[in-house]
Structure 1
Amino acid sequence: MHFSTSIASALAVLSATANGALVRVNDFGANPSNLQMNIWVPANVVAKPAIILALHTCGGTGESYAQTARFGTLSDTKRTWITIYPSTKKDSNCWEVNTVKGLTRDGGGDSTGLANMIKYTIQKYSADTTKIFVTGASSGCMMTNVMMAQYPDLFSAGTCYSGVAAGCLAGSPGASPGSADPTCANGQRVKSSEEWVKTAKAMYPGYNGSYPRMATWHGTGDTLVRYANFQEQLKQWSGLLGVAFTKNTTNTPQSGYTQMVYGDGTKLVGYSAQGVGHIVPVHDNDDLKWFGLA
């Protein structure tokens, strides 16, 4: 019995030292909206690792999202990326995607703190600045769109589950289901591709460079963030990336999902999930393929 207990204890120690763990970082630079930073660094991470910023849902936390979006635990095998799981504690833990400061580059909102988490991690771990990615679900997807619009020079690509176009909630009194103007979530904020591009570019005036690649997912049965928002996102990113719709591929990446390909499929794809409600489950392995980390 003593022998078995000793073996179990030794294995536990080996497991703890062989893998990463979620660790709080308290001083990562300017943090005007008092966010929390949690980081997962795999043991023996490679030189010049990639970074994934993973953004939780309304009501969630970075810690809980680490259990849903398994980029941290998956990195323990690959050891080629670091994952940041931040938390916001305001407005039912929903990301600030509605205010002027939150929709302005370095404007002093949540997006400013999130960008500083990325910059801190790049510096501390000598990360590869060509491999910086962002992903999120629901409110986290809304912020993914915002981060990619505000900091297109920081991110290489993003993935997004059941959200809205960047700027859709602009001017709303809040960003949570209980505080927001419902027009956006109900899919009633409809614009042309050109109008959505203008909305995104206003978040980083004067920027003339390229925008990150986007893969976005939405369920046809979503009654909280209506399916119409999926098309508005695709309008925005097709305009920003300069690609047009080319084809649908059914039952991809699984039965009941349709992949909507824009251009040659390397810059923008959408995934329509038939009958799926809010939220489309995170497909982390597909995300890693999109990021070039699989």
Structure 2
Amino acid sequence: MNLSRRSAITTLCALASGPTLAQAMRPLRVVASFSILADLVGNVGGADVEVAALVGADADAHVFQPSPVDARRLADADLVVVNGLGFEGWLDRLVRASGYRGPIVVASDGTAARKLGRAPDPHAWQDLSNAKRYVENIRNSLSRARPALATNFTGRCIAYVQRLAALDTEVRTRFDALPKSRRRVITSHDAFGYFGVAYGIEFLAPQGMSTDSEASAATVARLVDQIRRHDVRAVFVENITDPRLIERIAREGAVTVGGRLYSDALSAPGTEADTYLKLFAHNATTIVAALSA
């Protein structure tokens, strides 16, 4: 084969393989359904991923209405990560509208779902041991998408799981110091069931697992009665819900509003709960402080 022909073949091969090489070199484009998942993906993926959240900070995924911009974002993704357990009721419609054909990773796979009636409670991230499963599922999905970077993903996953374990030990120690008779609180909606089971706290709420329905007058009256009869020490507002209902319950029950908890979303960047670890530590500290008062 003469030199000019060999050079031409080499050029054609380079042109054919160029887009594949460029795709392998650029960060993996990941779309997460909401801000907490985006943070977990970012911790495992590091600089090897570009992650965006459909439902952002301080926003309520239960009532989220996707826009054409969200559909375009999904269409351009290499990987989509969702919570599952019925949390993203709008997801199937958005996937169809976007034309996305890539992998959809369910981060909660393998967790033991808590149930209220027949419906699974989707808020599994409110238990740090479940968060460990989340990041392992994320690590596995990123490694399948970019096998050459699997060692990077595994190293970050291991380091993050160690941070989860350390925080879990700290939170358990703080709640174990509280008398069991004091461990009863009220939040806006039933988002903390996994937290309650893990750390021995009874959470009551005027709304169910979703925020898309109004609390009935009978439910509010029942909660006020429980405050009086069972020595409920504090009620908490949430970052994703209107605080007026909880403030009314606090007034009628003559109990303190113990602060703001972060249930289904991080806070804005640069604020007190802008990462999952900060969110969880803030919630634990706020509850302990209110129950110790």
TM-score (norm 1): 0.30
TM-score (norm 2): 0.30
